[in-house]
Structure 1
């Protein structure tokens, strides 16, 4: 009756992830480059050589194949030696490919991911400020493959290279997030729930059919646990009960359609599991402070 969906895929689709890549950074000898904060999620991968990353007084050693995401708008430094005087990134990237120091023993591929307005609360706040993926990890094989393909597209520039690189980057992002959840699951939140053997199946059911009239008892039965176990574990791991989570997800889906101006409020209400426009309006206003119509007017050009 119910389809098991992928909540991570659902959230990424809802927040409208897009990507872009710069030409990269070539460096050698003694060098240090400082990067200003940016609202986008920054991404870098070490394709050759080794260097250091400094973020908020925490140092990371980056080896060949390593990559990282910066999920907060914070300043950071890439360097061969963090005691070396830094050069602002805006200076060395003024002509395209960034070059620092002398030589070319280090090469980093850099880019960014941009998200819609709900990404911070729905996804980014559930991640640490730095998501570091060691390239040597056997679990990172797909990430390494995607990076190799992206580098080839950016270097050889065949027809459609930019579009192919963007799609590959989104594939890579999903694998980076999967790897992070499996290796270092968050303490709480829906991402933590995905890795939980009881909560994970329930989340997939809720995302698979958000309009269905789920009960805690039915979710528990599907996961082969008691109702009390499901209720307590879901709340402990995710931070809210299963039906509260379902309500919030339905409102997120409705809000996304309202932002797109996709259908009448009554049609949107039915699509997300509410029997009437007034039922959706009550729940929507309780969670957002606005009626669906007022929300649409505030978001539609």
Structure 2
């Protein structure tokens, strides 16, 4: 099981929204909070990203940034330029001025608003992948393809661009994981063959009657050593993660299909529809049937 792909598939909804923004200096834009992840890719020129809680970040051609769970941020031609423009629908693509031009691809990946995944929750405020020569060649190839598609639009661009943006998200997250050198956290967990095997088994068969002992056996560790290493890597104890993944899987099944609740309950490890409904409501704040009819906000 590909843990990264599975996590994205389970938590992403819809197609990415995106558009080109072309500004001549001086310019400053304020981006409000979004329900998911905002992203920016510098197509031409340079600018500064101004996060809420950290120092401004210089961006150059080919740089990509992802802001997951973002509380709002700014972009400007310089750190001192006022953010007088508020990004939103209906704005002009091009605003001319006396200074150098910057072209940006800006957009949003929508994620489920009421629940998330610890791998994504572990992301920093800003994931910045600079266009460094020789680093992350597949990401760079995706950036080049996307840039070419947008600069020379042709038949099929409206289908190709969202597909390339989905590939871009995978490579941004893969690049971030590859840059992490700590002995704890998700990058370490995925490098650990034992933990990766255990996570894959849970994702592949969430309905199995998992115990710490059976999970530890997949990892080839003692229960105590496995529990410590799993919690340090994943960010929560093994059985808490099993429950989380069961509920994520159940929500996806409810969102995407019409399988009976009893069948979904069995798939994610519950012997009765009642026990499943109780666990689901505790996790998502609404009953499974109401969630299916109205989505994650149905109970609010």
TM-score with structure 1 setting the length: 0.83
Task: Give SS of 1:23's match.
Answer: strand
Which of 32, 37, 42 is the equivalent residue of 2:32? 37
Task: Give SS of 1:52's match.
Answer: strand
The alpha-carbon deviation at position 166 of structure 1 amounts to: 0.3
Aligned residues of 1:182 and 1:195 also touching (Cα < 8 A): no
d(CA) in 2 for partners of 1:190, 1:279: 31
The alpha-carbon deviation at position 239 of structure 1 amounts to: 3.2
Aligned positions of 1:165-176 closer than 5 A: 165-176=161-172
The alpha-carbon deviation at position 260 of structure 1 amounts to: 4.1
Change (3 A) 1:31 1:272: same
d(CA) in 2 for partners of 1:54, 1:124: 21
Q: Deviations over 1:28-74 (max 9, x none)?
A: xx423122313152211123333322212511121232110122343
Q: Please report the RMSD computed on the Cα atoms of aligned residues, expressed in angstroms.
A: 3.1
Change (3 A) 1:84 1:274: closer
The count of residues paired between Structure 1 and Structure 2 equals 294
Aligned residues of 2:28 and 2:77 also touching (Cα < 8 A): no
The alpha-carbon deviation at position 191 of structure 1 amounts to: 6.5
d(CA) in 1 for partners of 2:275, 2:238: 19
Aligned residues of 1:70 and 1:130 also touching (Cα < 8 A): yes
Change (3 A) 1:256 1:268: same
**Structure 1: 5+ residue runs without aligned partners?**
none
Which of 151, 154, 165 is the equivalent residue of 1:158? 154
Which of 58, 61, 65 is the equivalent residue of 1:64? 61
TM-score with structure 2 setting the length: 0.83
Aligned residues of 1:26 and 1:100 also touching (Cα < 8 A): yes
**Structure 2: 5+ residue runs without aligned partners?**
none
Aligned residues of 2:49 and 2:74 also touching (Cα < 8 A): yes
Task: Give SS of 2:28's match.
Answer: strand
d(CA) in 2 for partners of 1:232, 1:247: 18
Task: Give SS of 1:138's match.
Answer: coil
